[in-house]
Amino acid sequence: MHNDIILHENEIKANRMMALVLNITFVIVAITWILFEVGFFYIRIQYRGLMVFNLVLISMVNSVSRYFKYDKGWIKFALMISMIFVCAVTMMTLTYNVTLLVVLPILLSVRYFNKKYTIHVSVLSIIIFFFAYVLGANYGMLDLNFVQYEPGTTIVTNDAMWLDDAVRDLPYDSMRMIKNTIISNYFVKLLQLIIISAASFQMVVHCQELLQKEKELAESTARIGAELEMAEKIQKDMLPSIFPAFSEREEFDLYASMITAREVGGDFYDFFMIDDSHLCLVIADVSEKGVPAAMFMMTAKTVIKDYALTMSSPSEIFTAVNERLCENNKAGMFATSWIGILDLKTMIMQFTNAGHNFPMIQKKNMPCEMLDKKHGLFLAGMEGVVYNQDEIRLSSGDRILLYTDGVTEAHNAKAELFGEKRLMKILESMRGQNGEDVLSAIIHEIDAFAENTGQFDDITMFILTIK
């Protein structure tokens, strides 16, 4: 079905191309006719009317084709037959001067990518041009190389006379002339036509193979697109998406946002209650993009959560997770990550940073600052890494913004980076606003800054506010 649509659209385009060629031919024929009339070229008087036939035929066929918007199955035949007859009539008039016109319809037929059509055009061209060439050789412009006069024949001419006019009424063996023309001239051109027809046929075969590959590629692309859409849905379903999160809790508010650069991404965030009094926060950025990164991301997210539910400290969790992710990691993928565990009773957060962007902490009534602690190499980077941890006490009104480098490394047309300073300025200006509004403001500012340059990396953030 897809291939039929492509062929139909191609046929309409080919019809338009044929009409354009005929229009150009119309202009050339009209100019040639005028030059004939003023004596710039020679042509026998009785055949000048054929030029008018060409002009009328081109006008009529083009008008009909334009009326039907080139979208009828018979239009390609009408246009091509018109082209064949126009070229044949021109050859009959000028004979050996325009023999290259023979190949034009055959070459134009290739544009339709239809083997039968090219064969039919080739056969019809050979037949019609045979008769046109013979008639032209006998009644059009004479090729004196093939005319045999009686010995001693005298040709009388003057300054105002074309040689063809001078010999026109002299007796000669017309049958022998036609025979000579066919054997010595047309036969050679017939062989050329057959070669050109065969080459054109092979071009059509090649074009059809390309169309088939295009069809297969389109089907494969559609299948991959559907699979990516499903993968995108699966990935999004794996991330917490109900906000505000834990609305029943009175100690904190949580909002998150992720905008992938492709259908699926390598960033992820997660938050969950380890028990009734401990909240775990995780954000990570996988080294690659696309499907491989998404697969690694899902593995990393699952492993981190599994260990977080069984181990007591962030450093222990990341040490165990790193060993697990290093196993059979032949692709050499890795992820920067940050994990924090908040004790809701004491409001002390223990955290470990595995090569990730520094979070921003905004203490109540204090300037925003970076939580600039790194405790080890990125996850899956090297076996045997033992991670450290730090802790910070939070109080009412404090908030922490976690993000990936897709935020700070967003760039504009001048290759300028969005940067931590702009991000911190937005956070300061939104002091007192809820987390959802803060994330919306950051995304809006990134879009305005990027100036439609396109998103280069996944943009992932979440914000924790202590009530």
Model confidence at 330, in pLDDT bands (50, 70, 90)?
confident
Residue 284: pLDDT band by 50, 70, 90 thresholds?
A: very high
Q: What is the pLDDT of residues 80-101, one digit of tens each?
A: 999 888 888 877 777 666 667 7
pLDDT category of residue 326 using cuts at 50, 70 and 90: very high
Residue 462 phi/psi, 5-degree rounding, is -150, 155
DSSP assignment of 55-75 equals: HHHHHHHHHHHHHTTT-STTH
Q: How far is CA 358 from the centre of its chain?
A: 39
At 173 the pLDDT is 62
Neighbours of 67 (CB within 10 A): 9
Report the chain's C-alpha Rg in angstroms: 40
The answer on pLDDT for 299 being more than 80 is yes
Residues contacting residue 300 through CB under 8 Å, at least 6 positions apart: 268, 284, 286, 321, 325, 335, 337, 379, 380
Given CATH 3.60.40.10, say whether it is the number of domain 239-466.
yes
Percent share of the chain, pLDDT over 70: 84
Q: How far apart are CA 271 and CA 258, in angstroms?
A: 14
Whether 136 shows a pLDDT value over 80: the answer reads no
Domain with CATH 3.60.40.10 in the chain: 239-466
Q: What is the pTM of this model?
A: 0.60
Q: What is the mean pLDDT of the chain?
A: 83
Burial of 284 (0-12, 13-18, 19+ CB in 10 A): buried
Q: Are 274 and 260 in contact (CB under 8 A)?
A: no
Distance CA 300, CA 314 (A): 15
Assess whether pLDDT exceeds 70 at residue 344: yes
What pairs with residue 269 in β-bridges? 283
Average pLDDT, integer, range 224-243: 73
360-414 tens-digit pLDDT: 999 988 889 999 999 999 999 899 999 999 999 999 999 999 999 989 988 888 8
Cβ pair 402, 269 in contact under 8 A:
yes
Q: What is the pLDDT of residue 328?
A: 82
> Considering only CA atoms, which of 320, 288, 292, 293 is closest in space to residue 304?
320
* Distance separating alpha carbons of residues 261 and 54, to the nearest angstrom: 59
Per-residue model confidence as pLDDT tens digits over 234-251 = 677 778 888 878 888 889
Which token pair is 198?
A: 């065969």
User: Among 462, 460, 426, which Cα is nearest to 444's?
Assistant: 426
Which residue shows structure tokens 């991670």? 387
More confident residue, 42 or 316: 316
DSSP letter (8 states) at residue 455? -
- Number of other CB atoms surrounding residue 123 within 10 Å: 12
pLDDT of residue 201: 87
**Sequence-distant (≥ 6) Cβ neighbours of residue 456 within 8 angstroms:** 261, 406, 409, 410, 411
